[in-house]
């Protein structure tokens, strides 16, 4: 079966000397597509950052604790009757701590940890993730690229980090 597009592409009046076939509006379409993709990427990144800076999302912790209670009871037969109440207390404490420390967590950490649509969400999980991420960012800043082993030799790979703790580059030794 012959391809009608191939016949069109092979026509000599559509091809500059020694080049690929040209069609009217090619440059405009390419430029427009490039601009549209750039705008989409910028808006996507900006909206993700703004979403994380709006504040701590509100969860239905009773629902979260009921789901946890059911899951634990289905796995273990000897669960105490206070599991639900303990869960509620833990979630309340974690939420209070998150509200207190919310401004100290980086947007990078919030974007990676606080995801209300993920399975088994909860303030305890978010707080733990944010604290671990904050500590890793601090360790990266403190150690930087000059980290060395106990014997004084340079560790490999060498990791360069930005002000926010994000990895900028990695040099394999």
Q: Would strands 158-161 and 167-171 be described as parallel, antiparallel, or unpaired?
A: antiparallel
For 71, phi and psi rounded to 5 degrees?
A: -65, -45
Backbone angles phi, psi at 15, to 5 degrees: -120, 125
Question: What is the distance, to the nearest Å, from the Cα of residue 95 to the centroid of all Cα atoms in its chain?
Answer: 21
Residue 50: band (very low, low, confident or very high) from pLDDT cuts 50, 70, 90: very low
What is the Cα–Cα distance from 54 to 113, expressed in whole angstroms? 15
Paired strand residues for 169 = 160
According to DSSP, the residues that pair with 114 across neighbouring strands are none
Non-local CB neighbours of 23 within 8 Å, separated by 6+ positions: 14
Split at pLDDT 50, 70, 90, the class of 42 is low
Q: Measured between alpha carbons, how far is 3 from 85 in angstroms, rounded to an integer?
A: 70
User: For the segment 83-131, what is each residue's pLDDT rounded down to a tens digit?
Assistant: 899 999 999 999 999 999 999 998 889 988 998 887 668 999 999 999 9
DSSP letter, residue 146: G
């Amino acid at each position: 079966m012959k391809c009608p597009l191939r016949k069109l592409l092979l026509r000599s009046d559509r091809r500059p000397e020694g080049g690929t076939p040209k069609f009217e509006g090619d440059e405009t379409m390419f430029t427009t597509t490039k601009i549209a993709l750039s705008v989409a990427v910028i808006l996507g990144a900006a909206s993700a950052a703004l979403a994380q800076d709006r504040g701590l999302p509100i969860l239905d912790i009773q629902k979260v604790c009921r789901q946890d209670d059911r899951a634990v009871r289905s796995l273990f037969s000897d669960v105490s009757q206070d599991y639900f109440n303990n869960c509620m207390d833990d979630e309340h404490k974690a939420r209070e701590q998150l509200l207190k420390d919310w401004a100290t967590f980086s947007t990078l950490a919030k974007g990676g940890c606080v995801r209300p649509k993920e399975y088994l969400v909860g303030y305890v999980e978010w707080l733990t993730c944010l604290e671990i991420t904050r500590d890793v960012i601090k360790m990266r800043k403190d150690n930087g690229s000059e980290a060395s082993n106990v014997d004084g030799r340079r560790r490999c790979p060498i990791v360069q980090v930005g002000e926010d703790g994000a990895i900028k580059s990695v040099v394999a030794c």
